[in-house]
Amino acid sequence: MQEHNDSDMPIHRSVLLREVLELLSPVDGGVYFDGTFGGGGYSRALLESANCSIIACDRDDRVVAIADDFGKKYLGRFTFFHEKFSSIKSLLQDPVDGIVLDLGVSNFQLSDPTRGFSFRAAGPIDMSMGLCDETAMDVLRKYSENDLANIIYKFGEEHFSRRIAKNIKLNLKNIHNTEDLANIIRKCVGKKGKIDAATKTFQALRIFVNRELEELEKILADSIDVLKPSGKILVVSFHSLEDRIVKLFFREMCATGRFALLTKKPIIASEEELSSNSKSRSAKLRGIYML
Ligand SMILES: C[S@@+](CC[C@H](N)C(=O)[O-])C[C@H]1O[C@@H](n2cnc3c(N)ncnc32)[C@H](O)[C@@H]1O
């Protein structure tokens, strides 16, 4: 699953890449914003398919080395900011032809135990993608049992949120790493099906620590002010909370008469992609364009 690039970082296998490329259909001279640079899979495909320019950002400082390589390889056509995508308005000086977001964490973030995203290995309870004010451990310590339960319910849609929050607070002194945390959650939820019982709580903490939904709402609202006429916005989301925000925003924008849907229904991964990249299982691609 993991390959390496020139920067010796594990490579993230881009999801729905062909579909994103087809919908965005970059043109020579076009300028596109890649708000979730990651391993650079989308940026590279765009830069290779037309003589276009990319302005990219990522909140994770560990992708800066990859971005530096891009700057050298695509001289004058690639600009990178180590920033959150919610700053889009201050990052762009002129309107762009397209904006693309591939939300959530990358494989190299997930698979690095020192980042604390995974319940499969013992790591620090961190979960920051970068440029965060607090870690997941801060959240467990700082927030009351009631607030913690609400976070787990709201961002993880976890029905056992109250029981989980109570047990986390009761056992706080014994929670030293992600494995300890996952085991406490598993005891509260019990085994059900193939999905690990800690999945929803880990998702909730990650979304909360990174303020992922606020980030998404902010960039969507600001993106319409930095698009050229006919400009496109494409978003790949990975869970229902994100997808709902994107779907409702696109619907609202189309109702103004200034935008139209590029995707009547969300595009999902092909059988071929599903069989080679399990992360694509939950991916949904939606897009709109300015009339
Ligand atoms: C799924 S990966 C993107 C992979 C990329 N499309 C590729 O093909 O290699 C998501 C990336 O977005 C970044 N990210 C997530 N939320 C962000 C935000 N609000 N601002 C900037 N970067 C963000 C993460 O740090 C991660 O590197």
Please tell me the distance between residue 202's alpha carbon and the centre of ligand 1 in angstroms.
Answer: 18
Task: Among 14, 18, 36, 203, name the best residue to mutate to test ligand 1's pocket (greatest count of ligand atoms within 8 A of Cβ).
Answer: 36
Q: Residue 10: its pLDDT value, please?
A: 54
pTM to 2 decimal places: 0.95
Nearest CA to ligand 1 atom 2: 106
With contact defined as beta carbons under 8 Å apart, do 38 and 59 qualify?
no
| C-beta separation of 63 from 37 below 8 A | yes
Q: Which residues pair with 232 in a beta bridge?
A: 98, 289
> What tokens appear for 213 in the block?
């939904």
Q: Please state, in angstroms and rounded to a whole number, the distance separating the CA atoms of residues 64 and 122.
A: 26
DSSP 276: H
Cα of 167 vs centre of ligand 1, distance in Å, is: 32
What is the rounded distance in angstroms from the CA atom of residue 218 to the CA atom of residue 187? 37
Instruction: Look at residue 12 and give its three-state secondary structure.
Output: coil
Q: Is 57 in the pocket of ligand 1 (CB under 6 A)?
A: yes
Instruction: Name the pLDDT band for 11 (thresholds 50, 70, 90).
Output: low
Is 190 exposed, middle or buried, given 0-12, 13-18 or 19+ CB atoms closer than 10 A? Answer: exposed
What tens digit of pLDDT does each residue of 67-88 get? Answer: 999 999 999 999 999 999 999 9
CA distances from 11 to 6, 72, 92 (A): 10, 19, 27
Predicted confidence band of residue 9 (pLDDT cuts 50, 70, 90) = low
Enumerate domains of the chain plus CATH numbers: 17-108+212-290 (3.40.50.150), 133-209 (1.10.150.170)
**What integer pLDDT is reported at residue 3 of this predicted model?**
41
Q: What are the pLDDT digits (tens) for 136-167?
A: 999 999 999 999 999 999 999 999 999 999 99
pLDDT in tens, 76-126: 999 999 999 999 999 999 999 999 999 989 999 999 999 999 999 999 999
